[in-house]
Chains A and B, each alone.
Chain A
Amino acid sequence: MYSHDVLVLGAGLAGMRAALEAARSGANVAMLSKVYPVRSHSNAAQGGINAALTDRGDDWHEHAYDTVKGSDFLGDQDAIEVMCREAGQELINLEHMGVIFNRDDEGRLGTRAFGGQRRARTFFVADITGQAILHVMYEQILKYNVRVYDEWYATTLITDHGRCGGVVAMEMRTGEVHAIRAKAVILATGGLGRVFEPSTNALICTGDGMSLAYRAGAPLMDMEMVQYHPTTLKGSGVLLSEGARGEGAYLINSRGERFMERYAPNMMELASRDVVSRAEITEINEGNDIDGCVLLDCRHLGRAKIMERLMYIHEVAMDLVGVDITKDPVPIRPGVHYQMGGIKTDVDGRCWDPSGGWKGVEGLFAAGETACVSVHGGNRLGANSLLDTVIFGRRSAEAAMDYASANNHLEFSEDNWVGGEKATMQALLDNSGGDLVAKVRLDMATAMDEGLGVYRTEEGMQRALDAVRGMKDRFKNVIVQDKGKAFNTNLIFALELGCMLDCAEAIAVGGIDRKESRGAHSRLDYAARDDENWMKHILLYQGPGDQVTKEYVPIVITQWQPEERKY
């Protein structure tokens, strides 16, 4: 059987940063990913990565405060402090690894402005920051010769009595199913955007890790907090980075007005994402739209700046909607973008509470978008997510190595685990008479978009939840047309759909439960934030049976008391 001390699931920024840390310390580490590492969705991050550098006159406390406020006071302040305090050093680490950052006139790292922050502290590489960092991180993975299971799909966590000791995974090329043993498993499997349609997320963002952890007994936290990004392209929903507004682009409605004047007079287009998305939807609902969209106007930035700093946006707008942003405004609207919630962890990535405050799965760690530490609370600031992946990727690796050196491998029967998994897959392959996978996925995603969009109501969310539960039944008969072994993507989509349905249900249950409006969770029937009753996180556990069990844990407050949020 394959065997490692630390096994990292996922090879995006969080996963690679974790694996790199372990490899540098000489640990027996491996990484497993359903796509080649550089195909991971981290490459789509365009705008940049935040850090408060002291020698730039910035202060991490300010970054932390902006993050706390951005989170609508749902973020845990101890975790936010860790992230913002360590950001500077981590940024320099990235530069030392070889990331090409845009520079200022003196050759030092240059910054750009980003939403929800009072200072320009976003470091960037044109508008391909994620790609530039991801590829360099992979260079380091190659340098340290980390073992990578490329194009392996993880289907189940191997657990016994609340402890994790490995995974079952399918080698996509051959279709073979294997067990891989590990003393510590780190989940870095990214987001779940495909639960919604449309979405800025890649086709691989299907929430697998969240579902795997949830099924294994770990709680999911604040799942209702799904971020809508204000500027996604008409039609496909592909993202146009906040970097555009950071560089000075305007949002205008059908009457040519810069409507943000009415919603956030101080920060204008650079208010927090939830605020801008709501403003756009209001404009659209009031009829100031063009075909269900408003416009992003970059023309006044000038061709030179656009081609230096927004070249990718220029390319995508041209390719996908045929608009040259140097000449015309481009139609956009809010679209699902990021999951603030996820697998509950402590600041060291642990998915269980050593002091017993909440339960979870021992030996299991999580980092990146799949995890909820929680540093983003009700609303993530732009460019804080890449930071989250590298900081908590590294920290979870440190904790996982500690755990691995203090514990033995879990004993389990390989045959049982592999056999069980094969049986599940065979059952899917044997289905007949049901719906096609893509049909169920689309129905789910549309129901979620309708019921859990930018504005929510009890009724709408309940309708979505009922629909999702109905789809869980339909899923049992879903049809996989490809019966072969080699590279059976059809079977993988079916497995992913199963994961997405778990996530969709959790999002809806959390949404119905939280009877207030906070951050991205904006309810028409409970329009105000309710600090008295809802300064707490919602934890969801799977079971017993078909049920979902809820638990609440208080928000950690260190320095900043909740206050009204205005931009």
Chain B
Amino acid sequence: MQAKVSVRRFNPDEEQPKPYDQQYDIEVEEHFTVLDALIKVREEVDGSLALRCSCRAAICGSCAMRVNGHAVLACKARVSQHLSDDGEVRVEPAGNQPVIKDLVVDLEPFWNKVRAVEPYLQPSLPEPEAEYLAPNEVMLHLVDVMGCIMCGACVSDCTVLEVDPNFLGPAALAKAYRFVADTRDEEDSKRLGLYNGYGGIWDCTRCGECVAACPKGVAPMDRIMALREKAIESGTPPGGYDGAAYGYRHAEAFEEIVSHKGRLEETMLVVKTLGMFNLPKMLGMLPVGLNAMFHRKMPSPFAPTVPGVNQIRRLAARIKMNKDGAAR
């Protein structure tokens, strides 16, 4: 079968480097993955094509990239399933990360975020002589999260990272969840305080892109939601990177604004979350705002109340009543 493999290329060695598309017409076999096709190009046609790959079996996490606009593992995506009607498949580097060369992106920001969640077991009690005892169900549940191969496909397609590079992002937060859910780790409240902060669990918009992109079924968004639940349940005290409970306030402000205006006013949300007079932090949000504006995602600060707002207010009141009732 013939395939037109169109690759977004970038060569930093050029004097004025610019991304450009290059098409390779090659013969592929039925079982070929996109990675097989790229390797064929690299080995037989154009040795200068740069990409990362190693295991060819969806386990090393090297080959995340965009195929037809969505992040996948190239070694898991069959060419035949991604060909357009005129036999083309489009390959681009993973998103939300600076490109080094061709399909190779800079992973330093990715790893820095992983570092930021304190990604190592922190048992506070002295180690037992033998193993820690732990129920098999807990361990099996964790296996699903440990299935994460740190490929960054989720990060590539995360809609929040597109506008706010400060967001810890799906991969790091899924990793964070692993420690909170691990019965051997005893620093849950400290951790939840940390993840509760600016750039943490409350910044996710629940768009679901990370769940769709993840090749290993880690479902990062679900993990983030589980962390939110745990944070609320535990009434996590003020924490965060600089000691303010932004996350919690974010949720409260969210509720307050929606029940007042019937819609979410994002500018107001920032103000209420960070605190009306927290100038330094608000200045810090400026790039995010500008970036959002640039991407046409900046909400108007003067949005009117929506029609039928009374109904929404009543709804909010009822939810509140039910919640308080249930708590008792």
Contacts and interface: CB of A to CB of B under 8 A. Distances in A.
Interface of A: 35-36, 38-41, 43-44, 55, 92, 95-98, 100-110, 125-126, 128, 131-132, 135-136, 139-140, 142-143, 173, 202-204, 235-236, 238-239, 308, 312, 315-316, 319-322, 436-439, 479-490, 493
28 contacts: A35-B52, A35-B62, A38-B149, A39-B60, A39-B62, A44-B59, A95-B131, A98-B120, A98-B184, A100-B142, A101-B139, A102-B136, A105-B136, A107-B134, A107-B136, A126-B143, A128-B147, A131-B146, A203-B56, A204-B54, A239-B57, A319-B33, A319-B76, A436-B47, A481-B48, A484-B11, A487-B104, A489-B42
Interface in B113-149: 114-115, 119-121, 123, 127, 129-136, 139-140, 142-143, 146-149
Given A486-B101, A487-B101, A98 B121 contact: yes
Nearest to A141: B120
A173 B107 CA distance: 11
B131 A438 contact: no
A131 B100 contact: no
Given A98-B121, A101-B139, A490 B48 contact: yes
User: A41, A103, A438: which has the most chain B beta carbons within 10 Å?
Assistant: A103
B136 A103 contact: yes
B58 interface: yes
Interface of B: 11-13, 31, 33, 42-44, 46-48, 50-62, 76, 78, 100-102, 104, 107, 111, 114-115, 119-121, 123, 127, 129-136, 139-140, 142-143, 146-150, 182, 184-185
Contacts of B61: 38-39, 43
Contact of A41 (B54, B114, B149): B54
A413 B119 CA distance: 40
Contact of A142 (B43, B46, B115): B115
Contact of B59 (A95, A96, A312, A484): A312
Given A39-B62, A487-B100, A125 B143 contact: yes
Contact of A55 (B114, B130, B136): B130
B59 A103 contact: no
Contact of B55 (A41, A128, A438): A41
Contacts of B57: 44, 236, 238-239, 316, 320
Given A100-B142, A142-B120, A35 B54 contact: yes
B126 to A, nearest CB: 11
Contact of B56 (A109, A236, A485): A236
B131 to A, nearest CB: 4
A491 to B, nearest CB: 9
A412 B51 CA distance: 35
Given A139-B121, A173-B100, A202 B60 contact: yes
A483 B114 CA distance: 34
Contacts of A204: 54
Nearest to A110: B136
A100 B143 contact: yes
A236 B56 CA distance: 9
A481 B50 CA distance: 12
B133 A106 contact: yes
A292 to B, nearest CB: 15
Given A98-B121, A131-B149, A489-B50, 6 more contacts: A96-B123, A131-B147, A312-B59, A481-B46, A487-B100, A490-B42
Nearest to B62: A39
Contacts of B184: 98
A108 B131 contact: yes
B136 A143 contact: no
Contacts of A106: 133
User: B57, B104, B132: which has the most chain A beta carbons within 10 Å?
Assistant: B57
A102 B107 contact: no
Nearest to B76: A319
Contact of A202 (B54, B129, B139, B182): B54
Contact of B54 (A39, A101, A439, A490): A39
Q: Is the interface of B mostly helix, strand, loop or mixed?
A: loop
Contacts of B48: 481-484, 490
Contacts of B185: 98
A235 B78 CA distance: 15
A135 B142 CA distance: 13
B11 to A, nearest CB: 7
User: A100, A104, A107, A312: which has the most chain B beta carbons within 10 Å?
Assistant: A100
Contact of B127 (A96, A125, A128, A173): A96
A490 B47 contact: yes
A102 B135 CA distance: 9
Contacts of A100: 139, 142-143, 146, 182
A88 to B, nearest CB: 9
Given A128-B143, A487-B50, A38 B136 contact: no
Enumerate the 3 nearest inter-chain pairs by beta-carbon distance, A residue then B residue, closest first.
Answer: A481-B47, A438-B43, A98-B121
User: B53, B115, B143: which has the most chain A beta carbons within 10 Å?
Assistant: B143
Contact of A38 (B76, B132, B150): B150
B140 A308 contact: yes
Contacts of B130: 55, 92, 108
A100 B146 CA distance: 8
Contact of A132 (B33, B114, B146): B146
Contact of A98 (B42, B50, B149, B182): B182
A488 B130 CA distance: 48
B13 A484 contact: yes
A315 B142 CA distance: 18
A309 B314 CA distance: 50
A211 to B, nearest CB: 19
B72 to A, nearest CB: 11
A142 B111 CA distance: 10
User: A106, A315, A493: which has the most chain B beta carbons within 10 Å?
Assistant: A315
Contacts of A105: 136
Contacts of B146: 100, 125, 128, 131-132, 135
Nearest to B142: A100
Nearest to B101: A487
A143 B114 CA distance: 11
